[in-house]
């Protein structure tokens, strides 16, 4: 009996579960926040990213992303998250108010991502 292979959706979903809410290098070499996965019928599966301007975009799953968290020192990753929050999320919070809640809900308010927690630089 041959083993049943996982569908692409299952494979992408597991990858999303592992890196949702993290900063990644997207398919066009930008640093973006991975926020979701969607299926566009009769087309393809797409990663959903939030860019530095706080805009949500989609990119085909044919091209993947590179997670930054496993490759950067913890303090540098936290600083990058802080910069992302200051530039992408905070200004939209000031304009729209609800943006943090809607994005946090979409990414599941991941506590391991300093964007949603306290990511103040440690004092030396």
pLDDT in tens, 62-121: 888 999 999 999 889 888 888 887 777 666 666 655 455 555 555 444 444 555 544 344
Nearest alpha carbon to residue 36 among 45, 48, 24: 48
The pTM of the whole model exceeds 0.75: no
Domain-wise residue ranges, the chain: 8-107
Give the model's pLDDT for residue 72. Answer: 92
89 vs 41, residue with greater confidence: 41
Give the model's pLDDT for residue 53. Answer: 78
54 conformational bin, left if phi > 0, alpha if psi -120 to 50, beta if neither: left
Where helices occur in 8-98 by DSSP H, the ranges are 8-19, 74-84, 90-96
């Amino acid at each position: 009996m041959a083993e049943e292979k996982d569908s692409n959706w299952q494979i992408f979903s597991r990858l999303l579960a592992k890196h949702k809410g993290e900063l990644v290098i997207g398919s066009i070499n930008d640093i973006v926040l991975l926020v979701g996965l969607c299926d566009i019928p009769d087309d393809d599966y797409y990663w959903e990213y939030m860019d530095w301007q706080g805009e949500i975009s989609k990119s085909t799953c044919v091209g993947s992303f590179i997670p930054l968290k496993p490759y950067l020192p913890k303090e540098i990753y936290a600083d990058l998250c802080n910069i992302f929050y200051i530039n992408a999320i905070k200004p939209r919070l000031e304009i729209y108010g609800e943006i943090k809640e809607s994005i946090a809900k979409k990414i599941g308010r991941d506590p391991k991502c300093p964007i949603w927690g306290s990511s103040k630089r440690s004092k030396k």
